[in-house]
Amino acid sequence: MTKKRRILMITPYIPRLSQSGGQRSSFYSIKYLAPKNDITLICFSRDEEGVEDVRQYCQKVIVVKRGKTWDIKKVFATAFSPYPFLVVNYISDDFRKTIQQEIDTHKFDLIHCDCFYPMPNIPKTNIPVVLVDLTIEYAVYQHYVESLSGWRKLLAPILWVDVRKLKYWETHYWKNTHTVVAFGIEDQKIISEITGRNDIQYFQNGVDQKYIDAPIKTKKSKRPSILFGVSNMKWMQNRESVELILQNYWPQIKAQIPDCQLNIIGRFAPEFFGKYASKDIIVAEADADGQAKDPQYYYQHCWLLLAPMGSGGGTRNKFLEGMTFGLPVITNPEGGMGSIKIKNYKHAIVCPDNEILKNVIKILTDTKFRENLGTNARKLIKDNYSFVKCVEGLNQIYENITKK
């Protein structure tokens, strides 16, 4: 039997199924890394929700308690330190001491860190560190500042300082970490160009086998039905996407297809978009897997996943999971497809903003086109994007590091 590698994994959250995006990707990465790796997981979290789910795949799980985001001490620390607010939120003496103690008392083959902002807590060590960057953070915040309007523009000079600090430290860790792994081909190119490194690795995000094998449990809506989600609405990219749909497309869609319904689904969706709820706009959380209306329900119930984005980057789990259930996807070039290698208009649609409306109408009114797009999407994901296959790429990166 091949000896397992010993991995110290550090995450700025508890990897969990009840979340979307990076947390789900981290969970499934751990699940499929476990057969070949003994994983000690250190999480930084305010609660312990989901810890038992991930514990079954780890040799050891440690949860370090995280404080409130908006704390006057953190605001002052941001103002008078070289670190941006995002990083200040994840710098913790307890976090740092816990990592140091594990390094001091156990032998690890490598350290794996999801996201760059916990990196200041990792002490100097001879153990190779693998930074898996789920998105390019500074680009997201930079876009946010550039898009400010009204009175909020008064905050721009202060926020620009924070964006510059964010870019500095993100770039610093890209340049000085043993191995950097990007979650998308475009992100890989950007990081390579910024750092001058030609060894930036690439992780192919995937879908859990249970989604690929899942039976059809939910009938399609009788009404033409558009989905945005299933997403965590605390992530500004997702909120911006919903606003784009509501402002730029939804009125025109309703004018042409009066019985159409829009589903705004995801964690904290009612908190941010509850004011729009009506018989035509459904705003709801997606329950944890296995409940009456889990993500699978919405993927199977809706006719189309619409997600124009204001900025690029990210894991695009919603595209992968939606396509797995044969749900056609429309996005713009900023949304891209993450790491999903599609043939445009065969597996999904990536089009300029001014062409989104006509493509939405075509999918909702042309049954054959809609069904063909969904069938092709499902086959693409089923054949190429199972997490079982995708994690083998991460295992190979580990192997290349540890055999040296």
Instruction: Tell me, yes or no, whether 172 and 245 share the same domain.
Output: no
Mean pLDDT, residues 51-60 taken together: 96
Asked whether residue 175 falls in the same domain as residue 285, the answer is: no
Token reading at 144: 């946010």
When pLDDT is averaged across residues 220-242 and rounded to a whole number, the result is 93
> Which of the four pLDDT bands, split at 50, 70 and 90, describes residue 314?
low
Tell me which residue range forms the domain holding 290: 209-384
Same domain, yes or no: 192 and 59: yes
Q: What is the pLDDT of residue 404?
A: 66
Cα–Cα dist 308/333, whole Å: 8
If asked whether residues 35 and 60 sit together in one domain, one would say yes
**Confidence (pLDDT) at 288:** 55
| Residues 231 and 148 occupy one common structural domain | no
Whether residues 186 and 198 fall in one domain: yes
Given a cut of 90, is residue 307 above it in pLDDT? yes
Q: Is residue 297 domain-shared with residue 202, that is, in the same domain? A: no
Q: How far apart are CA 359 and CA 361, in angstroms?
A: 5
Q: What is the mean pLDDT of residues 138-142?
A: 92
Assess whether 47 and 132 both reside in one domain: yes
Largest CA distance in the chain: 65
User: What does pTM read for this prediction?
Assistant: 0.89
Average pLDDT over residues 60-72: 92
229 and 304 in a single domain? The answer is: yes
Q: In terms of domains, do 243 and 166 share one?
A: no
Higher pLDDT, 16 or 260: 260
Helix (H) or strand (E) holding 336: none
What sign has the CA pseudo-torsion 241, 242, 247, 248? positive
Query: Percent of the chain beyond pLDDT 70?
Result: 96
Q: pLDDT class for 337, splitting at 50, 70, 90?
A: confident
pLDDT band at 74 (very low <50, low <70, confident <90, very high): confident
CATH number at residue 114: 3.40.50.2000
Q: How far apart are CA 24 and CA 4, in angstroms?
A: 24
Q: Where do the DSSP E strands lie in 24-166?
A: 37-45, 60-65, 110-114, 129-133
pLDDT for position 126:
96
217 and 195 inside one domain: no
Q: Residue 306 belongs to what H/E stretch? A: strand 304-306
The structural domain count of the chain equals 2
Q: To which H or E segment does residue 34 belong?
A: none
Per-residue pLDDT at 270:
94
Q: How far apart are CA 65 and CA 47, in angstroms?
A: 7
222 and 233 in a single domain? The answer is yes
**What per-residue confidence (pLDDT) applies to 22?**
82
